[in-house]
Structure 1
Amino acid sequence: MVIGIVAGFIVIAGGAALLNSRRAKRSAPTEEVGEDDTAEYLTMMVGVLYALVLGVALVSVWEAKDGADTNISAEAGALHQTYLLADGLPPDAAQRARAAAVTYAAYVQNEEWPLMEQGKPLGPRGWTLLHDVQNAWTSFEPTTNAQQQVDQLAFGQISVAYQARQGREADGGGGMSGVMWFGLLAGGALTLGLMFLFGIRRTRTHLVLGLGFTSLIAFMVVFIYALNSPFGGLLGLSSEPFAAVGTGG
């Protein structure tokens, strides 16, 4: 799809350059100046409006990816804290709490992450394993003040993990709307078409500037496309935070 986007913009640029070249040859030398000024003004306004569309799209996908990164860090960090807090429990209870945390983290990294990279929904198994983490703590009855404090801290971290997991699942099903993508692609085509049809008349200068601008727009669209998939692609987030659960750091 990315290659198709770039190729589409190149085809648009080449076709518009061809049309402009033929138009320039047929144009009379006495062409009215007022019409040229109006066309150039409209071309500039379309370019400004498209720059706003590009900016909104870029900010939207950037904030979405930043939110996904925050949820991942919060979930993995909270899970790791429950693992460390298990040091304050008796050996049997500590082993159950650690095993539940490690099992959940391994499942997220090995089973859920490939699904998120493909944009597929997650099954209920992850929630079941997170419930096991909570059950490992609820099955233990603290008998000292220190154990009660540890128990309260652990439940606070488990609550954070629940909220962050909900956010992570929502992040996987997000992305820009089809309307926004239509505006991004159609606006780029319109901007390039007007620029080639009513732009600089000197062929070499026109081609250099036009192809450079086309390359810039294509790069921005591909960049937005890459950011639009928080968990997949070259710019996708890593599952390494979950690999750190249970390392004792």
Structure 2
Amino acid sequence: MNTYLAGTLWMVGVSIAALAVVVALRRWRRDSGPLVDISVLSAVFSLAGMLFAIVAAFVFIDVWSGAEEARDVTYAEAEAAQLVAWSANGMPEPERAEMVRLSREYLREVVDREWPRQAGVSADEHAHGWQLVQRMHDIATRNAEDAGDAPEVVESLLQARQQRLALAGARIGDATWFALLAGAVLAGLPMFFFPFDRALPQLALTATVASMITLLLFTIQQIERPFAQDRVAPTAYEETLTRITPP
């Protein structure tokens, strides 16, 4: 489903549910009168909303900065793949040509196959990429005397790959989600009990607060994985491919 449509449906659905609760409470309150003092309710509403906003802001900043870290990792990995190809210059043929070919194939594997699916799968499903790294490592080890830095640059490629795949599966954690969801409920709960004389202002306030909280939670859920929603493009790998001359 389209992200914009999904977000809109969530906002509308939660707002409708909140409005239904307000209508039910107003009908019940006609006979029982105000439930709490308005000054106390306002203080609770302000405090709960402020605390929730602080928690949500820290979480949002954390998941947003994750994309910057992921972008840096992609450039480090692409640079390592380029250095692997260049480290083969001192190797004899056909090892040199094979090393360059494997470097290009690795970059193409990342762009064409791993990138579209890495946000939602585990690292175990990228088996071909691991095989390419292993073959490069074997060639570098055999030719360590002719290209002394080859094993080190292959190791740097391996580490960058591991870091990227670890970031691809990174999430903010169940405990954080519990804090966000519980905080959202507690922040929005007081608005149901404000003793408005007219229904329209209370309905408008409820719909606005419910929509804003839902939008914030939906956005965090969509961007909690650094590589989700095309937040990080495979630009580094595509640029590196143009700098490695085919053997």
- TM (norm. structure 2) is 0.79
Q: CA deviation at 1:212?
A: 2.6
Other structure's SS at 1:229 match: coil
2:63, 2:78 → 1: CA distance?
Answer: 23
Instruction: Return the offset for 1:136.
Output: 3.0
Identity of aligned residues (%): 23
* Aligned twin of 1:21: 26
TM-fit CA distance, 1:141 = 5.4
Matched, 1:183 2:179: yes
**Shift in alpha-carbon separation, 1:188–1:9, aligned structure 2, 3 A:** farther
Does the Cα contact within 8 Å between 1:108 and 1:126 map onto a contact in 2?
yes
1:113-158 CA-partner distances (Å, limit 9, x unpaired): 3431323343443222112223333333556xxxx6xx42x44433
Equivalent in the alignment of 1:47:
49
Give the match for residue 37 of structure 1: 39
Structure 2 counterparts to residues 198-217 of structure 1, below 5 A? 198=194, 202-217=198-213
Residues 201 and 157 of structure 1: CA distance in aligned 2, closer, same or farther (over 3 Å): farther
Change (3 A) 1:200 1:183: farther
Cα distance, 1:50 vs structure 2: 1.1
**Quick check: 2:45–2:191 contact (8 Å CA) kept in 1?**
yes
Corresponding residue for 2:96? Answer: 94
Corresponding residue for residue 235 of structure 2: 240
1:171-224 Cα deviation digits (max 9, x unpaired): 122202223223322322332232232276553333334323332222211211
**5 Å matches for 1:57-136?**
57-87=59-89, 92-123=94-125, 124-136=127-139
For 2:197 and 2:49, locate their aligned partners in 1 and report how far apart those are by CA, in whole Å.
18
Residue 238 of structure 1 deviates from its aligned partner by 2.4
Distance 1:199 1:79, change over 3 A: farther
3-state SS of paired residue (1:118): coil
Higher mean displacement: 203-212 or 164-173: 203-212
Instruction: Note the alpha carbon deviations across 1:65-98, whole angstroms, 9 max, x for none.
Output: 3322222221112112333454565564431221
User: Aligned equivalents of 1:44 and 1:26: distance in 2?
Assistant: 28
- Equivalence for 2:142: 139
Kept in 1: contact 2:119–2:169 (CA 8 A): no
Distance 1:243 1:136, change over 3 A: farther
- Of 10, 21, 29, which residue of structure 1 is paired with 2:15? 10
TM-score by length of 1: 0.78
- Which stretches of structure 1, 4 residues or more, deviate above 6 A after TM superposition? none
Task: Specify the SS of the correspondent of 2:240.
Answer: coil
Q: Which runs of no fewer than 5 residues in structure 2 stay unpaired? A: none
